[in-house]
Amino acid sequence: MLKLKKAKHASWNGVGFGSSTAEWVVVGHEHIAIRELGISWWAIDTSTDKRIARADKRSDLLEILSSKIS
For 16-29, write each residue's pLDDT tens digit: 898 888 899 999 99
For 44-63, write each residue's pLDDT tens digit: 999 999 999 999 999 999 99
> Which domain covers residue 22, as residue numbers?
4-69
Q: What are the C-alpha distances in Å from 39 to residues 7, 36, 56, 58? A: 20, 7, 7, 11
Confidence of residue 2 (pLDDT cuts 50, 70, 90): confident
Q: Check: CB of residue 4 under 8 Å from CB of residue 25.
A: yes
- pTM comes to 0.82
Question: How many structural domains does the chain have?
Answer: 1
**pLDDT given for residue 70 in this prediction:** 74
